[in-house]
């Protein structure tokens, strides 16, 4: 067994070594508005560059930092949008209801496509006849206008999804599976599994599809035609050009799904970077914590100003009643009324902390990368999700038994203290976390090697019809076996109807006979 494993590793290494010579031109387009998703694409891009590929990246200024050997095209206008968003507190509007959210999203996506395509650097690239690209890597978000680049350069299109997979990603990957679809926006989506919730959630996803079809796509089509001059039909055709879809998730973290062979799980891609080291003081605090450590962080993107009012006070009061030591990541270093067991850090070496044996619990906003890191280290979580995919990320680890979730808007000191104490006293969360961690780590190749191998696979094998599920071959009626269900129902119905008819005739005869006997 061990020998075979060594052989496998060796041959994979050789595979990754070979064809270094076949360098390709790769274009990556990542107009993200916050920093976390860049941690996912960065290791992949860096490795592709060191393997001799010519990589060009279109991103905002400063996000990510320059990567060696990579040509960066920075779209300054994207940074303006980020500034606009933070200054106007638009983020908070995303929590109100799904219609405001959809309207805002449509505008933001229109602006993003427009900003990129009209950027001077991108325009220069488009007009330079010597430019060519073999592969274009994009997040499978709704920036449909950018698919024009795929046609323009006759390139292969590959998706890199930094968030959890939803119905839209499944659709673009050509993996239809309505029964396991999840929404893009969690606002108003029910987590229960009752019939009523399921019907409601189906309607919720249908509404998202309608918004996509009626609002997002027409706006993108406008830009698609303005910048490329292709037909509307072309844009629809390009939507099904995704050859591979790399997704930042792993089945151990949630539900097992039936995926077509072009959906590749690379969850944990960002773990290939070495963890940040801890400074001496923090290390001492971790080592000396005899009662264990609780690590509290709301991630990189949530500033204190987005948190509900008084939450800081409530947390400080709760933490003061605990014996455990607390590491609190916050941009507000000055907290006058904090108790002695609380240690505040501005930049926490999160993975280093989570890997420390004294850490018992991670209180988190449920950002995907944080959840992946806690799963990797096997640390139980208490989730306080606030935006976007955080609700869904926490839901799956909660169902698996390594986490609990609380509503941050109705938090009070008693329930919070009780939940924390319950999670620390009850061993089951810890054991589950360790078990899941083992599943998460046990793979034939690291997530980064997997991503690199499949990216080069997409470069070698450009005929995507061999990789994607051919939807024409599985019409809806056959996929759900509606025809056989109908045939079965018909036969069952016929038999049932004959039986009922028989019983009814017998009953009639019996009644007639009764009447004759007792007139
Ligand atoms: C990559 O870029 C270098 C330097 O610009 C160039 O010499 C080389 O031909 C490029 N490779 C490909 C595959 O185009
Ligand atoms: C989109 O761009 C317009 C015009 O520049 C701007 O007024 C608007 O605030 C932007 N909307 C979003 C959601 O970025
Ligand atoms: C596009 O690329 C494919 C595969 O490399 C090639 O067979 C085809 O001829 C190219 N089409 C054009 C118009 O260059
Ligand atoms: C804290 O520790 C003390 C002494 O070990 C113990 O008596 C007490 O019950 C602990 N309190 C909590 C809240 O666990
Ligand atoms: C521990 O927690 C789990 C999950 O909440 C629960 O099923 C179990 O009964 C608890 N055990 C104890 C001893 O409280
Ligand atoms: C791609 O593969 C399909 C199905 O195997 C085949 O019918 C088609 O001719 C191939 N296309 C090219 C350009 O080789």
Protein residue with its CA nearest to atom 11 in ligand 3: 154
**DSSP one-letter code for 301:** T
The pLDDT of residue 206: 86
Taking CA atoms only, the protein residue closest to ligand 5 atom 14 is: 426
Taking CA atoms only, the protein residue closest to ligand 2 atom 3 is 111
Q: Write 151-157 long-range contacts (CB < 8 A, 24+).
A: 151/228, 151/230, 151/234, 151/238, 152/126, 152/228, 153/27, 155/27, 156/243, 156/458, 156/459, 156/462, 156/464, 157/238, 157/241, 157/242, 157/243
What's this model's pTM, rounded to 2 decimal places? 0.84
Give me the CATH topology for the region 24-267+450-472.
Rossmann fold (3.40.50)
Distance from Cα 106 to the centre of ligand 2, integer Å: 10
Residue-by-residue DSSP string for 355-404: HSTTEEEEEE---HHHHHHHHHHT--EEE---STTHHHHHHHHHHTTSEE
82 lines ligand 2 (CB under 6 A): no
Q: For 270-282, what is each residue's pLDDT tens digit?
A: 999 988 888 889 8
For the ranges 60-74, 223-237, 300-314, 491-505, the lowest mean pLDDT is seen at 300-314
Select the more confidently predicted residue: 182 or 72. 72
Point out the ligand 3 atom lying closest to the alpha carbon of residue 134: 5
Confirm or reject: Cβ of 83 under 6 Å from ligand 2.
no
Task: For residue 295, give the 3-state DSSP assignment.
Answer: strand
Centroid of ligand 2 to alpha carbon of 81 (angstroms): 7
Distance CA 483, CA 100 (A): 41
In the chain, where the domains are located = 24-267+450-472, 280-441, 481-517
Model confidence at 312, in pLDDT bands (50, 70, 90)? confident
Q: Is residue 56 within 6 Å of ligand 1 at its C-beta? A: no
Q: Give 153 Cα–ligand 3 centroid separation in angstroms.
A: 9
The span from the CA of 298 to the CA of 295, in Å, is 10
Calculate the CA dihedral of residues 436, 441, 445, 449 and round it to 10 degrees. 110
Kindly report, residue by residue over 428-484, the tens digit of the pLDDT: 999 999 999 999 999 999 999 999 999 999 999 988 888 888 766 666 666 667 777
Same fold, 24-267+450-472 and 280-441: yes
Q: Is 355 in the pocket of ligand 1 (CB under 6 A)?
A: no
CATH number of 280-441: 3.40.50.2000
Does 407 or 478 have the greater pLDDT score?
A: 407
């Amino acid at each position: 067994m061990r020998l075979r494993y060594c052989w496998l590793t060796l041959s994979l290494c050789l595979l990754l070594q070979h064809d270094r010579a076949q360098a390709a031109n790769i274009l990556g387009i990542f107009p993200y508005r916050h920093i976390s998703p860049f941690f996912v694409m960065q290791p992949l891009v860096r490795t592709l560059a060191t393997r001799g590929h010519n990589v060009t990246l279109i991103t905002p200024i400063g996000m990510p930092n320059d990567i060696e050997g990579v040509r960066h095209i920075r779209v300054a206008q994207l940074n303006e949008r980020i500034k606009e968003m933070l200054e106007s507190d638009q983020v908070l509007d995303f929590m109100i209801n799904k219609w405001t959210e959809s309207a805002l999203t449509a505008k933001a996506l229109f602006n993003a496509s427009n900003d990129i395509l009209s950027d001077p650097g991108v325009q220069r690239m488009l007009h330079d006849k010597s430019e060519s690209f073999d592969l274009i890597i994009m997040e499978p978000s709704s920036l449909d206008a950018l698919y024009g680049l795929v046609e323009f350069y006759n390139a292969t299109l590959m998706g890199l999804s930094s968030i959890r997979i939803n119905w839209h990603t499944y659709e673009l990957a050509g993996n239809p599976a309505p029964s396991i679809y999840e929404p893009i926006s969690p606002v108003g989506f029910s987590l229960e599994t009752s019939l009523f919730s399921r019907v409601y959630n189906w309607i919720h996803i249908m509404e998202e599809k309608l918004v996509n079809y009626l609002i997002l796509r027409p706006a993108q089509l406008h830009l698609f035609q303005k910048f490329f001059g292709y037909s509307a039909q072309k844009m629809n055709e390009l939507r099904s050009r995704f050859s591979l879809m790399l997704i930042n998730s792993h089945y151990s973290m949630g539900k097992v799904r039936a995926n077509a062979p072009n959906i590749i799980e690379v969850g944990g891609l960002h773990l290939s970077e070495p963890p940040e080291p801890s400074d001496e003081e923090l290390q001492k605090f971790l080592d000396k914590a005899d009662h264990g450590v609780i690590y509290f962080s709301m991630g990189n993107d949530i500033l204190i100003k987005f948190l509900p009012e008084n939450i800081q006070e409530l947390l400080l009061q709760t933490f003061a009643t605990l014996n455990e030591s607390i590491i609190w990541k916050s941009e507000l270093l000055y907290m006058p009324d904090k108790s002695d067991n609380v240690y505040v850090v501005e930049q926490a070496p999160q993975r280093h902390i989570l890997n420390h044996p004294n850490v018992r619990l991670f209180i988190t906003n449920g950002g995907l990368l944080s959840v992946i890191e806690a799963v990797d280290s096997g640390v139980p979580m208490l989730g306080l999700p606030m935006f976007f995919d955080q609700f869904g990320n926490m839901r799956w680890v909660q169902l698996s038994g390594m986490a609990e979730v609380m509503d941050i808007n109705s938090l009070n000191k008693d329930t919070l203290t009780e939940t924390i104490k319950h999670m620390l006293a009850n061993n089951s969360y810890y054991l589950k976390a360790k078990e899941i961690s083992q599943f998460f780590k046990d793979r034939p190749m690291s997530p980064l090697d997997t991503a690199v191998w499949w990216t080069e696979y997409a470069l070698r094998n450009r005929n995507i019809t061999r990789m994607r599920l051919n939807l024409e071959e599985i019409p809806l009626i056959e996929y759900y076996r509606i025809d056989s269900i109908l045939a079965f129902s018909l036969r069952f119905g016929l038999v049932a109807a004959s039986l009922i008819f028989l019983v009814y005739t017998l009953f009639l005869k019996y009644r007639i006979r009764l009447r004759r006997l007792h007139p």
